[in-house]
Amino acid sequence: MKTDSIFYRLFQEFPSIFFELIGEPPQEANAYQFSSVEVKQTAFRIDGVFLPTQKRDIPLYFVEVQFQSDSEIYARLIAEICLYLRQNQPSNDWRAVVIYPTRGIDTADIKHYREFFTSQRVSRIYLDQLGEAVSLPISLATVKLVIENEKTAIKQARELIDRTQQQISSPQQQQQLLQLIETILVYKFSTMSRKEIEEMFGLSDLKQTRVYQEALTEGRQEGRQEGEQEGTRQQKFRTVPLLLRLGLSVEDVARELELTVEEVQQAAQQ
């Protein structure tokens, strides 16, 4: 799994994390919708954009996740943003945030774009400078887990799992966070199967929880009920993202909802 895909999922499910990263109140996320944006008639795609959903004088945020050195990152980012502004003519002001694992990856020259940085219209975040995971909020500690080496990731993941179970009161949010932690672990320990990771970190027992089982049962029931009516697949499609977030593989969801793998993949992208 690509690193930017992890962050795309993270910001979709927990948009408040982005605002915590940039030092804004997490409640600001309630005024935004996060999505990926393709600039028409070009090969440009912006990793993510937080678009205001309310008529407020708040900026839209362009987000770029950069985990490899790229000497053209700022030239490309500014060009993408300017084309987006030309094509969409948003009334709101804008800001851009580039997320790096470490400062050492940030090697591009800002000479031609220094005014954007001086004004803080474009800002940079280095995940290794967030602080010690134990002192961070669970949300930011989860982000930092992405850059931990395998040795420290094991310890950090176990601590995060314990903190999530103890401190997050909402069963649904707790389950989502645990599944996100599991996804990051699958990314980091690519030689291990998901089942091995579940057993290693004690996650297999969590899939027997009431929230998980009720969500799975609900998906099956809704799918079957819709199967008896016209437009049978629409309700099944709406259930797909929930089951994927709860840890089922694409193949499992297809089997449980009686869809094809291609239909599940299509529903997950909507």
Q: What is the pLDDT of residue 226?
A: 47
pLDDT digits (tens, 9 = 90+) for 92-120: 999 999 999 999 999 999 999 999 999 99
Single-letter code of the amino acid located at 47: D
Where the chain has pLDDT below 70, the residues are 1-4, 38-44, 203-235, 238, 242-243, 245-248, 256, 270
Alpha helices in 128-260 (DSSP H): 138-145, 150-167, 171-188, 194-200, 210-226, 232-245, 250-257
Q: What is the pLDDT of residue 230?
A: 37
Q: Hey, what CATH topology would domain 1-129 get?
A: Trna Endonuclease; Chain: A, domain 1 (3.40.1350)
Q: What is the pLDDT of residue 234?
A: 67
Q: What is the pLDDT of residue 94?
A: 97
Q: What is the pLDDT of residue 85?
A: 92
Q: What is the pLDDT of residue 267?
A: 78
Q: What is the pLDDT of residue 194?
A: 74
| CA dist list (Å): 99 to 3, 22, 65, 77, 107 | 11, 10, 5, 13, 13
> Computed from CA positions of residues 76, 143, 246, 211, in that sequence, does the dihedral angle turn out positive or negative?
negative
pTM above 0.85, yes or no: no
Q: What is the pLDDT of residue 206?
A: 52
CA diameter of the chain: 63
